[in-house]
Amino acid sequence: MPLTLAQKILSAHRVTPKDEEDVQAGRIVNCRVDIVLANDITAPLAIKSFRDMGAGRVFDRKRVILVMDHFTPQKDIASAEQVLVSRAFAEEQGLTHYYEAGEAGVEHALLPELGLVGPGELVVGADSHTCTYGGLGAFATGMGSTDIAAAMALGENWFKVPESIRVNFDGVLPPHVGGKDLILWIIGRLGVDGARYKALEFGGPVIDTLPVEERLTMANMAIEAGGKAGLFSADEATLHFCRDAGRRGDRTLHPDPGAQYEQSLSADVSSFEPLAACPHSPENVRPVSELKDIPLNQVFIGSCTNGRLSDLRAAARVLKGRKVKRGLRCLVLPATPNVWRAALREGLLEVFSEAGCIVGPPSCGPCLGGHLGILAAGEKAAATSNRNFKGRMGSLEAEVYLVNPAVAAASAVAGIIIHPDGI
């Protein structure tokens, strides 16, 4: 039976391999996991469940990863105590991979950078954007903290094999159009539940040449269409990325010819332009050119979606020699310490500072309305993050527009949402 990427990876991780019929869509399979992940918000809940179920030790101290990223640096007593619980558990269990303070970055940017995830792996995390690692050809998905506790203890969990939706892109990407715009196009077509408990599988000539960091952006937002996972083939570009991160021994991974898909989408991107997800849903997608004179109070450049070095470079190219509009807050949060240092070496942080941006620490911060940039009632923001539901970044009466980094930078200069060519 020809297999999709999701079926191939789940089949390879079955605890008791039988025949290929076991990974038909809709079947329940018990699988070994390669990585179990949690953060400062979700880890304490998982740790409590871990203890409640009577577990003593994690299944593998090298494969359970805790990253303190959502409220870094801790904003109040409650968030500090969450970190305290997580740190104590990491010390008790002797976890190899515990990241806090100056070592911590936004988890879904940090793990690929450190070579902790890679092609063909099965990753579960107590965070919905765990699907990011599909950009490297991993089946990665978010779970509740109780399921994560079970995975911590057993090193395995059950999965329903998902149907897959194949998305193919042809043509040539225009300037200022990238992975963020491609995934917004998909979400706009499918809606926020159109891929519910399905795997999005991306391909086509455009995807074959798309940089790995932009693949990670697309996989990250598969959940915004309801997806269980977002998957890319692991090709030579993937292997090169993984080698640079210190990994060895990874292999290419592709779906089988003739694999069966629940549905297929395709588009020629040659006529695409930058897109924006308008309030209050990622599926409310419109071309940036249609958004006229929307005044902004804040711009956020960062997050697990678009806080990588290539994203900061795209924003800096637009901001260089320009100034953020007076009265507007532009926040730039590099996603990891390594990204922060690289941006410093390249002079990007100087560009941002001279433009009037606030450059902050690696943190999820404003993305979830945690801290470092909360919106007041009536305020409007453009953000490179992944969600814009009511209250996501602060007040229920605020509005958030999701855009790519170049559009965000241009909008910070203009004070309204605008195409980079318009400033």
d(Cα 148, Cα 45) in Å, to the nearest integer?
A: 9
31 contacts 14 by C-beta, under 8 angstroms: yes
User: pLDDT for 391-412, tens place per residue?
Assistant: 999 999 999 999 999 999 999 9
Is the pTM value of this prediction over 0.85? yes
From residue 171, how far is each of 129, 168, 209, 270, 286 by CA, in Å? 28, 10, 11, 5, 20
Helix (H, G, I), strand (E, B) or coil at 38: strand
The answer to whether the 5-19+26-256 and 275-422 domains have the same CATH topology is: yes
At 29 the pLDDT is 95
Task: State the Cα angle at 198 between 196 and 201, rounded to 5°.
Answer: 130
At 19 the pLDDT is 59
d(Cα 28, Cα 301) in Å, to the nearest integer?
A: 40
Choose among 106, 140, 147: nearest CA to 123. 140
Which residue ranges of the chain lie beneath pLDDT 70? Answer: 17-21
At 232 the pLDDT is 98
- Domain at 275-422, CATH class: alpha beta
The overall average pLDDT reported for the chain is 97
What residue type is assigned to position 302 of the chain? G
d(Cα 197, Cα 283) in Å, to the nearest integer?
A: 17
At 21 the pLDDT is 61
- Select the CATH number that applies to the domain covering 5-19+26-256 from these four: 3.30.2130.30, 2.60.40.3880, 3.30.499.10, 3.20.20.80: 3.30.499.10
At 18 the pLDDT is 63
At 16 the pLDDT is 80
At 22 the pLDDT is 83
3-state helix, strand, coil in the chain (%, to 5): 40, 20, 40
Domain locations in the chain as residue ranges: 5-19+26-256, 275-422
d(Cα 135, Cα 321) in Å, to the nearest integer?
A: 34
Choose among 377, 281, 384, 378: nearest CA to 335. 384
**Token pair listed for 136:** 């490297």
* Helix axis angle, 77-93 to 43-52, nearest 10°: 50
At 109 the pLDDT is 98
Give the DSSP H or E segment for 65. Answer: strand 64-67
At 365 the pLDDT is 94
User: pLDDT for 55-69, tens place per residue?
Assistant: 999 999 999 999 999
Let me know if 108 is exposed, middle or buried by CB neighbors in 10 A (0-12, 13-18, 19+): buried
Q: Where are the beta strands (DSSP E) in 208-335?
A: 229-232, 263-268, 275-277, 285-287, 298-302, 329-333
**DSSP single-letter state for residue 327:** T
At 66 the pLDDT is 98
